[in-house]
Amino acid sequence: MTTCRRRIFLMRHGSVTYFDEAGRPHLPESVPLNADGRAQADAAGHAFAAAGVQFDRVIVSGLPRTVETAARVLAVTGQAIQPEVWPALEEIRGGRLSSIPLDELKRAFTGAFEGLVPPEQRFLGGESVGELMDRVHPAIAGLRADPDWDTVLLVLHGGVNCAILSLALTGQRLFLGGLAQAPGCINALDVGVEERDWVVRCVNHSPPDPLQPGARATTMELLFEQYRKSR
């Protein structure tokens, strides 16, 4: 018997510049793609076009970096789809960086993305991993409950993608922090009718740099090094 599953293409937005050269943060709610991010989004679009992928729906978090990435993917693939904005899928929300003690700073940056993360672990003194899952998982359940799509593109964020991938891999309310998500990467997930029917096809495929030979540090380790210049 052939199992009928639907396809979720899950992207992380392209690269943005979160800190200036002195380590001072830009407002994360408004940062646009930088030149690398625009190239990454275009490369993802070319990968989808080469595979002949057609989307029924496109969903973004609403933050500019996801909106711009989706727009560039759609422009390259020539698909006239209006992306839907789902605020429940915004990135895990940090607190005030200046209020974090210096000796706790590295843990505040990287703790939510190391190993099996406890739900009470907070990101930059703000939202906890458990709170992130409590808004992301119901949104994904709602998407799966809608029968009127076969192939959907989600353009989201590294932390949100980890929450979705962790659910797909474990079927539980667990957060696997070590799931790397390169800027502009593509994940492919299939979902069936049953709640636990997930098939993970590919993870962290980066069209401009598929083997990522130069990548050793995580995104949050790199951002920590940029920020601590200002402290």
Altogether, the residues listed in the chain come to a count of: 231
| Residue 147 domain-assigned (yes or no) | yes
Domains contained in the chain, number: 1
Q: What is the pLDDT of residues 148-164, one digit of tens each?
A: 999 999 999 999 999 99
| Residue 1 domain-assigned (yes or no) | no
pLDDT reported for residue 2: 57
Mean pLDDT across 175-191 = 98
Mean pLDDT across 220-228 = 93
With a cut of 70, say whether residue 1 has pLDDT above it: no
With a cut of 90, say whether residue 104 has pLDDT above it: yes
| Residue 181 domain-assigned (yes or no) | yes
The greatest distance separating any two alpha carbons of the chain, rounded to the nearest whole angstrom, comes to: 60
Q: Which domain holds residue 188?
A: 6-230
Dist. CA 136–CA 89, nearest whole Å: 6
- R_g of the chain computed on alpha carbons: 17
Dist. CA 174–CA 101, nearest whole Å: 28
- CATH number of residue 113's parent domain: 3.40.50.1240
pLDDT reported for residue 148: 96
Tell me the helix, strand and coil percentages in the chain, rounded to 5: 40, 20, 45
Q: What is the pLDDT of residues 66-97, one digit of tens each?
A: 999 999 999 999 999 999 999 999 999 999 99
The average confidence (pLDDT) of the chain is 96
Dist. CA 17–CA 25, nearest whole Å: 9
In order of 82, 190, 214, the CA distances from 169 in angstroms are 30, 11, 27
Dist. CA 150–CA 119, nearest whole Å: 32
CA angle 115, 16, 216 (to 5 degrees): 40
Going by C-alpha positions, the residue among 68, 20, 18 that lies closest to residue 45 is: 68
